[in-house]
Amino acid sequence: MFRRFLSTLGFLSRLAPARLMDEADMRRAMFHLPLCGLVIGACVCAPAMAGLFAGQPFIQAWLCVLLSAYLTRGLHLDGLSDVMDGAAAHVDPERFWRIVKDSRCGTFGVAAVCMALLGQVLFFAEILAHGPAWRLVWVFVFGRACGVSFGLATRPYARPGLGGLFLSGASAKAMAWALALALAPALWLAPMAGLAALAAAGIPLFALYRLVRAVGGVNGDFLGAAILMGELAACAGLVLASAD
């Protein structure tokens, strides 16, 4: 299990050596997503937790976003960009998938990435300004729990390829484990944050699910988009809970 965890961490980030994963490992990778989020989040937030640029939440937030993009190789941002580019033409599934596979980035993809990065900086800064930095680690766990839940909901639509193998591991057991890791700390430390994050995540993820049905398929790009949406929803939950 630890070997598979390291393989998944290496596949999703720079925090473990990249290695070839066989089909069995790919099918089990979904189970390790939340723990990968925990490790990635801890590394992303380490400078802020160590007090670097203390009292400067926007600089700390920008550094966290930079580290997140670097450590994940921009994987989820790339997925969001591809999906949003294709969504502009989702009425025609064939055209949608042709755009998604195109390595070039269009207007909608650029706009989506800019909005996501701006949202992360603003949310992170607000969270850092009103509480300890370690709370941000939970954001990365919750985002990947949303990815597992979204994967289970859309698994019947999985397309062939690496994304399809990855999504095939989204089981009820994996989702229960992911939600336990994501919600148990939230319900203990900040119940309103967990509930608000769930509510905030439901809207974009449902829209993403409807897009999957409209285009007749789902791949790894959708999973990356779902993880980013989950992270932003977790941020919204923390901010709303702090406001109360």
**Rounded (10°) CA dihedral 90, 91, 95, 100:** 0
**CA distances from residue 53 to 46, 48, 49, 71, 126 in whole angstroms, order as listed:** 12, 7, 10, 20, 15
Domain ranges across the chain: 2-243
Give the C-alpha separation, 183 to 180, whole Å: 5
Place of tokens 């336990």: 180
- Angle at CA 198, nearest 5°, toward 122 and 175? 120
Burial of 165 (0-12, 13-18, 19+ CB in 10 A): buried
| DSSP secondary structure code for residue 1 in this structure | -
Q: Which two tokens stand for residue 108?
A: 């909608």
pLDDT-derived band at 244, boundaries 50, 70, 90 = low
The phi and psi torsions of 154 (rounded to 5 degrees) equal -105, 5
pLDDT in tens, 25-82: 888 899 999 999 999 999 999 999 999 999 999 999 999 999 999 999 999 999 999 9
Tell me the backbone φ, ψ of residue 13, rounded to 5 degrees: -155, 180
Q: Are 186 and 194 in contact (CB under 8 A)?
A: yes
Tokens of 133: 């930095």
Range among 93-102, 135-144, 190-199 rated most confident: 135-144
Are the C-beta atoms of residues 205 and 230 closer than 8 Å to each other?
yes
pLDDT at position 65, please?
98
Say whether 201 sits in a helix, a strand or coil. Answer: helix
φ/ψ of residue 86, rounded to 5: -70, -30
The tens digit of pLDDT for each residue in 192-218 reads 889 999 999 999 999 999 999 999 999
**Can you give the pLDDT at residue 242?**
81
The two tokens of residue 12 are 């999703």
Per-residue pLDDT tens over the stretch 144-193: 999 999 999 999 999 988 888 889 899 999 999 999 999 988 877 788 88
- Of the chain, the percentage scoring pLDDT greater than 70 comes to 98
